[in-house]
Amino acid sequence: MSFFRQLAKRTLTALLPRHAIVSRGAGPGIALTFDDGPHPDHTPRLLDALADAGITATFFIVGERGSEHRSLLQRIAYDGHNIGNHTWSHSEPRETSARQLIDEVRRTRDLIEDITGRECRLFRPPKGELTLRKLLALRQERQTIVLWNHDTKDYRMPVGSDAIIDWCRDYRPWSGDIVLFHDNHPHAVSAVEYFATQRPDLCERCLTVSELVNSSRSGRSVPQSVRGTLCTGS
């Protein structure tokens, strides 16, 4: 993310009501997030890895992919993960009007709520890009915009490379981190499996985005394993 995009993100976060835009949590714990799925091969393997590691996470799904793989949305919800909205088609942000964006948000939200029976208020814009007009429209839709403060860039990694393992080894998490992965690529599975075997302390600190945001908002207690201010790696 460029310097100017980072500056704009920080400025908007400061000006808007608290939790209108979230790029990291203020409470203990960290959130692993997965974009662009569900994928018929990678997402089931990722769900298995998360279950084995005892991690609950957050999936930002593309509506048209969710409509093709409804059983995966049901499983994501059944396994205790958050499901967020990542538009219907993941169209190029600069070619999508505010009206088109809101139409896609509504269509995806209706799909998620119909399949899971749960309210969907978390939204992540494709590429993290929003105009002021789109931002205000999303606020009218009562969407909490979820960005991130760590981007693995796993979508750029060659299949079969050790790049994701190198990233996981170097990652030094801090409380409130929101980490971006993609479950339409195979690397997220490798990352979770690495955390499970090599950094179990990190797994114990993982929360969904809703848990991360709500614990910092309300001051409510969270599991003992995620208390503290620093998440140390092994």
* Beta strands per DSSP E along 62-219: 82-85, 122-123, 144-146, 150-151, 178-182, 206-207
Is 36 annotated as catalytic? no
Find the Cα–Cα–Cα–Cα dihedral 208, 214, 215, 218, rounded to 10°: -170
From the list 86, 83, 162, the residue with the least C-alpha distance to 127 is 86
Whether the CB-CB separation of 109 and 144 falls below 8 Å is answered with no
Whether the CB-CB separation of 105 and 125 falls below 8 Å is answered with no
Sign of CA dihedral 104, 119, 145, 232: negative
From 81, 182, 185, 187, the catalytic residue: 182
Whether the CB-CB separation of 133 and 172 falls below 8 Å is answered with no
DSSP state of 28: S
Is 162 annotated as catalytic? no
Provide the 3-class DSSP secondary structure of residue 115: helix
Task: Please give the positions annotated as active site.
Answer: 35, 182
